[in-house]
Structure 1
Amino acid sequence: MPDPNINFASFVLSLAATAAVHFGDRLEPGETEPGPVDLQAAGQMIDILAVLEEKTRGNLTAEERQLLETILYELRLRFIEAQGEEKRIITP
């Protein structure tokens, strides 16, 4: 029997959390510095969420749609900001 706590919102949030890990947000126990940034992997997670948004259009509740739109907006903004930071680090 499926776990009743697993729903569309928890699925979307787990994908967003994976993207956050790729942005370097995850701290391992005992560490004080964020993990490595992998913009390609973060971008792939954003693309997966965008496909999910496209394929579920018209089939979500208002709350689910708003959650997905908000997460995509925030992750896309974060991606653009991270690209700028990466360029500042590489370019003298």
Structure 2
Amino acid sequence: MPEADPRFNEFVILQAQNAGLFLGQIPHPHSGEKQISLRAAKSVVDSLEMLVLKTDGNLTATEERLLKTALDNLRPLYQQAALASSND
């Protein structure tokens, strides 16, 4: 079993927060406004999905859960934002 690396957890959390920002879930730190950038959000989600593939068998159970939870939360938010954008 691989040894846990706190940097991995911090990285995944940071990426999830970035995706939340890009999906309008978190206000922009400078403007305070919620803005949506589907392209940036998709890039983050795609990167996390790539990380799942590239780290298969090399993560602790906690790291796997964190990554899975992040993606399980972000995918529907992205889909909702994309649908809302296409209806505008």
Asked if TM exceeds 0.5, the reply is yes
TM-score under structure 1 normalisation?
0.79
Query: CA offset at residue 29 of structure 1?
Result: 5.5
In structure 1, how many angstroms separate the alpha carbons of the residues matched to 2:9 and 2:17? 12
Q: Is there any run of 5+ residues in structure 1 with no aligned partner, and where?
A: none
Q: Percent identity?
A: 34
Deviating beyond 6 angstroms after TM superposition, the runs of 4 or more aligned structure 1 residues are none
RCO higher in structure (CA 8 A, sep ≥6): 2
Q: Unpaired runs of 5+ in structure 2?
A: none
What is the Cα-based RMSD across aligned positions, in Å?
1.9
Q: Deviations over 1:40-70 (max 9, x none)?
A: 1100000000111110010101110011011
Aligned length: 83
Question: Which protein shows a greater Rg?
Answer: 1
Q: TM-score, normalised by structure 2?
A: 0.82
